[in-house]
Amino acid sequence: MRPDRLASMDTQTIINLDTKSILAKLIATENLQVQHNKVKTASFDTKHRVLTLPIFKNPKGDVYDMLIAHECAHALHTPTDGWSKIASDNSLRSYVNVLEDCRIDRIIQKQYPGVVKNYLNGFDILEKQNFFGTHGKDLNTELMLIDKINLYYKSSKRLPIKFSSVDMNWLSKVDNLKSFDDVVDLAKSMLEWQKKELDGLKKLPDFDTHKIAENYDLTEDGENSDDESTEDTDNDTEENKDNNKDGTASEDNGEDKKDSGDMMKAVNSEAEEGGGSGIAPNKLVSITNDHMENKMGQLYDDEKSYAYYTLPKARLSDMIVSNQKFLNDMRKHIYGQTRKYAGDLKYYNWLKNAFRQFKNDNKKTVMYLVKEFEMKKAATAYKRATTNKTGIIDPLKLKDYKYNDDIFKKLTIIPDAKNHGMIMLLDWSGSMCDSIKQTTEQLMNLVWFCQKVHIPFEVYFFTSEIGTSAWDKSKNKTGEEVFDYKYGDAMMEKAHLVCIAHNKMKKTKLDESLMYVWSMAINYNDRYSHGRNYEYEGDNFGMPTEYYLGSTPLNQALIAVNQMIPIFKNKNKIEKMSLITLTDGGANWSFGYTMGDNGREKDQGNIPVIKVGKKRYSTNGQSYFRSCEYTGLLLDIIRTEHNISTVGFYVTKKVRTWELDRYIKDYKDYKDKELKQLKIRSSLSKNRYASVSHYGYSKYFLLNGKKMNIENTNLDSIKDTMKARGIAKVFKKSMKGRITSRILLNQFIEEVA
């Protein structure tokens, strides 16, 4: 078997590598990283201690474990630079290949006795499927010595092959091979010996019809022909069946099974005379080894490829814009504008009064929901309460002792409520422009609620614009200013998190910060919507350039949050935590390049695998879009590593059928699928939201972007002429609207109560 030939495993096997593969036993004493990818040969990066293995279709069974053991032995014991010295000599390389297999198989089986059984069973399975091309051949009379050795050692010396006394001398030398240099020396000696044996054989009158001459294409016509593959073209139907217990044979008719990367085939087409022999050197090869090389193509998975990443370290001090800096930036901007333009000063005075009025209008409803939350929490705690006997007799029950043995006092135990906490990420991208006002108002209601019930919180909007000129988006594409990279890290574009609210802020600063965010939301609403929702006075002073809406660096934000969560939980003594994302689309394409020794390197894999500590996480291609796939994977990592809930709110303005398909996975038929789509549409229309499943999220909600306006008590439609029943109807509708319109807050209450 050719060196560096390895097997692979599917995603789930990768994640459970240490328990599912014999490979774990082989690397137990090595500080290695194991990767599987779309390659034809194994490779071992000694500097970074990375062992890369090809991908096989069926990653299980004795054949798989045998190949894994064999090729790990090659990666660990065969010097990769040794092959380059003999690359041009096809015959020598073939001999070296067989003898090196004998040497490293002996080493690995001695070092790890557990693989001996895999070698025995694996060979039997492959031989039964004619992987060596020996069916119908007499092993004793139709094969050269190199092929007899190949079969004898691969069968663990079980095949009934007869060796002469001269042959036994060669076997003794094979058993004593210690190093790769020994293998090369022995291969050269054996090759020269075999040439002389063939020269003697050619003198026989029936040489052209001799089985060895036919099997190795050594006839007079074949000696001067171009180099051809020794691939067996026998269309034996038994070889084309998937009939082995490992699922290793799956013949693809008409497909070229030659290994294009096999350096053993890299020789000149013209036959060269070697060592004085009349035999072309390209004919003196191991046909059993060549046949197996060609058949091995059936085992490869040519569709899967993995992209391996580790996460870069976010430089939080540079990536996070503190609330104090945000306030200072806004104050400086407003001061500059109001000094220049009287209209901006007029708007600023209007803004303070309007925001105060907006907060007061929402205060009553928030307080109502606070009371509702407390009742739900108390009811849930009571439902979980347990009643235990104290062991103390209850005097009031003593009279019943004759017919009731329950005369002891009881104690009701209500479990302590857990401390909740919340981090919220707001999408500050251009596509949010026509819903940013409604979204911000929903967000502020949630902040005021958390403030009232004393739930620790931090709220950030993530942006791509800070420190990047709007006219020069090419600067610092790899985010060195906010990420520290090491070898293998995913390279990210720059992003920032702007803190707009947290539970440690004083009330006056919190109001000021939210007022500025509200003003920015009004600015975009006025710019892109049809008509103003707020008839403000003066001229809106806009916002600083660095806080303009940009792209969607959600994945960068999640990498930072992964580091922020332990800090937040420890600072606030959080026991139960929620991470809430509020977006209107997928993240920027932010994976695809890794940090290599020479800088930025492109990754061609199509299934992401992210390593966190000793764990590996993969999506196995669960998402429709690659960017969403990575987002879900990062959320899955955060949820698992920190034991938190991940709640997603997706603001959608138009609900297209193809968009709903990504949320409908388990349906019986097309009609069932349509019914599920109709249910989502109905909920969006009636309830203003729809709950769906989405990879990476504990809960995921679609929000109707057209019905996100916050409603307060509105009794303007009541007329003097109305009867009590009509007034009650208006009042009931108004009360219901003010509760249901606070979509974020209602769903958050359900989550934590």
Q: Could you report the per-residue pLDDT of 112-137, keeping only the tens digit for each?
A: 888 899 999 999 999 999 999 999 99
The gap from C-alpha 196 to its chain's centroid, in whole angstroms, comes to 58
- CB burial of 123-162 (b: ≥16 within 10 Å; e: otherwise) equals bebbbebbbbbbeebebeebbbbbbbbbbbbbbeeeeebe
Query: 421 φ, ψ to 5°?
Result: -150, 160
pLDDT value at residue 471: 40
456-474: average pLDDT: 75
pLDDT of 665 strictly over 80:
no
Q: Which tokens sit at 478?
A: 């790899």
Higher pLDDT, 540 or 721: 540
pLDDT value at residue 699: 87
As its CATH architecture, domain 315-386+417-601+633-654+690-713+742-752 has: 3-Layer(aba) Sandwich (3.40)
Higher pLDDT, 361 or 267: 361
pLDDT value at residue 228: 43
The gap from C-alpha 575 to its chain's centroid, in whole angstroms, comes to 27
| Integer angstrom CA distances of residue 511 from 361, 506, 531 | 14, 9, 27
pLDDT value at residue 193: 94
pLDDT value at residue 278: 57
Higher pLDDT, 543 or 498: 498
Question: pLDDT tens digits for 96-110?
Answer: 999 999 999 999 999
pLDDT value at residue 63: 86
Whole-angstrom Cα distance, residue 518 to residue 362? 14
Higher pLDDT, 378 or 208: 208
pLDDT value at residue 382: 45
pLDDT value at residue 410: 53
pTM, two decimal places: 0.72
Task: Return residue ranges of the chain for CATH 3.40.50.410.
Answer: 315-386+417-601+633-654+690-713+742-752
Question: pLDDT tens digits for 419-432?
Answer: 889 999 999 998 88
pLDDT of 356 strictly over 80:
yes
pLDDT of 79 strictly over 90:
no
Q: What confidence category does residue 624 fall into, taking pLDDT thresholds of 50, 70 and 90?
A: very low
| Mean of pLDDT over the chain | 77
pLDDT value at residue 221: 54
AA letter at 740: T
pLDDT value at residue 54: 76
Q: What percent of the chain has pLDDT over 70?
A: 70
